[in-house]
Amino acid sequence: MVSVRLSAGALRDLEDLEPVVAKRIIEKIMWLEKNFTSIVPERLHREFKGSYKLRVGDYRAVYSVHKDVIIIDAVGHRRDVYK
């Protein structure tokens, strides 16, 4: 069983989004927590090596995994989140 933690930056990112979009992302993060052991995470490359992405429409949640804890590092539109 894994647990999810949101970084301070990810919390700020979620607060800046429209409530409907933020709700969809939070629901997907909760889904990730429940289903993490049965999925293959999507790895990121280059400067984000060691991180993974969670797709929610045009939005992404960038996360890392530390033992049994998933840490959401950033949330945003796909054109901005990797900058």
Residue 81: DSSP 8-state: T
Going by C-beta distance under 8 Å and a sequence separation of 6 or more, which residues neighbour residue 78? Answer: 58, 59, 60
User: What is residue 81's predicted lDDT score, i.e. its pLDDT?
Assistant: 92
Rounded to whole angstroms, the Cα distance separating 10 from 75 reads 6
Mean per-residue pLDDT for 38-51?
93
Exposure class string for 43-54: b at 16+ Cβ within 10 A, else e: ebeeebeebbbb
Domains of the chain plus CATH, in order, are: 3-77 (3.30.2310.20)
Q: How confident is the model at residue 82 (pLDDT cuts 50, 70, 90)?
A: confident
Phi, psi (degrees; rounded to nearest 5) at 42: -90, 110
